[in-house]
A and B are shown apart, each in its own frame.
Chain A
Amino acid sequence: MKEESDNNHKKSSRRNFLKKSLVAGAGVVATGGLVEAYLDTRAAETGDKVKVLTTDGKIVEVDKAHIKYPRVSREESREGIPGKKFVMVIDLARCKNARACVEKCQEGHYLPKSQEFMKVYLLQDNDYTAPYWFPKPCYHCDNPLCVSVCPVGATYKRSDGIVLIDTDRCIGCKFCITGCPYSTRVFAWRHYEEYDEDTQPYSPEASSPGVEGTVSKCDFCPDLIRVGKLPYCVSSCPMGVIYFGDLDEDVVTNGTETYQFSKLIRDRAGFRYLEVLGTRPSVYYLPPVERQFPVDRGFDGLDEEVKKRYESTPYAKKQRR
């Protein structure tokens, strides 16, 4: 269905009968989180039972319809999706801090408001360069220091390039948090009620449900990738800022536009943040040139709490003066 929806090649002329017909854009279809909450939308039980492994090692049978996305076991989650190497491209020219990625990610991973896997920074390299909004997921580095320093192998890098955390293994020493130079990882300082909303068995692939006293972070949503869906942040972004794809295939997409990765990086001078650190991230940025929005638009419609975050940035200080 999704293949039919490449809006960038949409025709302008339509007949009336077509107007009603399906154009399944990524943003239109209801999200997983809602479907989960809205169990009553199932017209009937499927009757198909699937076996799932619960966190305490028991195997239970669940109706297929109850499962949001199939979750693989802890052992399987260490292997990675065969023959893939995932890569993300973030177009800084388009980001206007709409925060849809942050919120949808929190919803999808059952996170409390105080935990963000995706963070949006307001950066300005120096006084004379332009400020820009900087969405920052986990970089899923190819030389991941967080994985190197983990004493129990609770965080690991898979063959598909994804760095995951098994929070059932994590002892909560927080060494990985100090090891990551990008402040990507978050710690569960207590048990958050939001974790209880996730009624499915735990899987490192979903980073959910969260566990008190352990570390978690952006996981590139492998549970969604497995069923051919794009990560929450990618599909939710109204500006199409975030592209995602397979490096082997050399294709990235934001859901509506699809590009050859190497060409996109070449034509738009893509770069990786803090390349000098040698962590070899899997996330690339396109520089904030020919921007679609003035940077101030990023302050529109923000919660007071979120707005306050940027108050001490050099840019915001300058604006106030």
Chain B
Amino acid sequence: MANEKELALLKEFAPQIEHTNLIQAVWMFFLAAVVGLGFYALYVQIAEGHEVTGMRDNVVWGIYIVNFIFFMGVSYAGALISGTLHLFRAEWRKPINRIAEYITIIALLIGPCYILLCIGRLDRLQYLVLYGRIQSPITWDVIAISTDLFGCFIFLYLAVLRDIAAIRDFQAIRIPKWKRKLYTWLALGYTGTTEQRERLHRATDVMAAMVIAIAVIVYSVLAWIFSVTLQPGWHSTIFGPYFVIAAVFSGCGVMIVVMWLFRKLYHLEKYITRKHFVNVGVLMLILAALFGYFTFSDYLTKWYGSERNDELLISLLFDEYYWLFILSNYVGVLLPMVVVGIKRLRTINNITISAVIVVLALWVNRYLIVVPTLESPYLPIQDSRPEWLFYSSTWVEWALTAAGIAFFALAFTIASKFIPIINVSEMADSSTLEDEEILT
């Protein structure tokens, strides 16, 4: 059965699983209300047509697609981080890899909803399967995302199996009977025999590798949706790797923010320490450099070669979108480098603030990839209707965006009430709880 260490740790996390305090309840109610507002916006959009959005014939994809790219990116980042750290057996990952796995699954559930919001005829969604064409990148995406979803669920399940078994064996925990039954059923009778351990370990290794590979493929496919078209800002060979890097970068940011929130919410200061912030921060720094490099190469070649439409796009970016461009491609790149790069600035709060800005900058970066390109097509837009010339998102779109973020937080909170936010079993594997390698 579960070992001593596991039980000792579980005792500490039991309150989170056993009951919800008032602050948590208010927090969850607030999130649910925001999600509800999103549903109302969705109702308005379905009832009155897509005209209620800011999208029009030129900018046919707006912040829904931006959110889609963003959440998918966050998801892949979670997979890449937890997969890579698992394969490299990085000991310090143990307190935070559950967070990475949750990010992966929850973001992956939200992301595709946004592409559905862009679809004019949701009643015909089954056509994607019935009449699917292999040549369309959307078909690639449908296949890739469903494959990814399966893979991530298997990976997450493998990762939580030992913890579920531990909770099942933790007699002292006060949970309803149905919940205990559910744990028993989900634990698959895992008791930690040598054979079971080895099998679980092998399966986790295989899935960790798979999740990394899939994440790269899936995010490249997503990038190809844009880069296979002839649109001046999108038709770029660099887009696949660029999107993958941007995804992991944004995922690191989200990871740090989530770590900070749960550290405060569940008082995990003992487990999630400065070391984790610095380590993920260093990862973020490296990715910031790579992201900056990709961004620079993309825009440099566009600007230097200056085909007419590239030139138009760049002048639009440096005119209408000047401050957003500076925020996403200068501040977002340089700030984490400075904060994490200079030892004196490496505090938990500083790293978290820079992570918030990175997340924001990367959202804006996607916006700048999607919207200005559609606003500067080959044939100049000649229209008297302002909404046809420039995209401006409406309350419906913002409400649904907020709903997505709220759902992310809500699902995270609920998930943390089901299985501890810290991987108990892996922590217990370490020689001591205060293992230097893990916590300091």
Contact = CB atoms under 8 A, between A and B. Distances in A.
A183 B60 CA distance: 11
A170 B228 contact: no
Interface stretch (B35-43, B121-129, B321-329, B429-437): B121-129
B418 interface: no
Given A151-B138, A183-B379, A212 B49 contact: yes
A199 interface: no
B408 to A, nearest CB: 24
Interface in B125-165: 125, 127-128, 130-133, 135-139, 142
A171 B128 contact: yes
Interface string A122-134: 1100000000000
Contacts of B48: 190
Interface string A147-167: 011111110000000000000
B382 A309 contact: yes
Interface string B58-73: 1011000000000000
A293 interface: no
A189 B131 contact: no
Contacts of B377: 181, 183
B120 A188 contact: yes
A149 B230 contact: no
A122 B380 CA distance: 9
Contacts of A150: 133, 136
A129 to B, nearest CB: 13
A178 B120 contact: no
A170 B121 contact: yes
Given A150-B136, A171-B125, A187-B57, A181 B378 contact: yes
Contacts of B56: 189
Interface residues of B, number: 46
B119 interface: yes
A224 interface: no
B225 interface: yes
A103 B171 CA distance: 78
Contact of B133 (A145, A152, A212, A214): A152
Contacts of B133: 150-153
A260 to B, nearest CB: 30
Contacts of A152: 124, 127-128, 130-133
A54 B124 CA distance: 19
B384 A305 contact: yes
Contact of A172 (B121, B379, B382): B121
B124 A171 contact: yes
Interface in B225-251: 225-226, 228-231, 234
A182 B378 CA distance: 7
B51 interface: yes
A62 interface: no
Nearest to A213: B120
A305 B60 CA distance: 22
B282 to A, nearest CB: 38
A185 B60 CA distance: 11
Contacts of A214: 120-121
B374 interface: yes
A189 B388 CA distance: 12
B60 to A, nearest CB: 4
Interface in B43-57: 48-51, 55-57
B118 interface: yes
Nearest to B140: A151
A280 to B, nearest CB: 13
Contacts of B320: none
Given A149-B136, A151-B128, 11 more contacts: A145-B230, A151-B132, A151-B133, A170-B120, A172-B124, A173-B120, A182-B379, A187-B60, A187-B120, A309-B383, A313-B380
Interface of A: 114, 119, 121-123, 136, 145, 148-154, 169-175, 177-179, 181-183, 185-191, 211-215, 274, 277, 279, 305-306, 308-313
Interface of B: 48-51, 55-58, 60-61, 115, 118-121, 124-125, 127-128, 130-133, 135-139, 142, 225-226, 228-231, 234, 374, 377-385
Lowest 5 A-B CB distances belong to which pairs? A172-B120, A213-B120, A190-B49, A308-B384, A151-B138
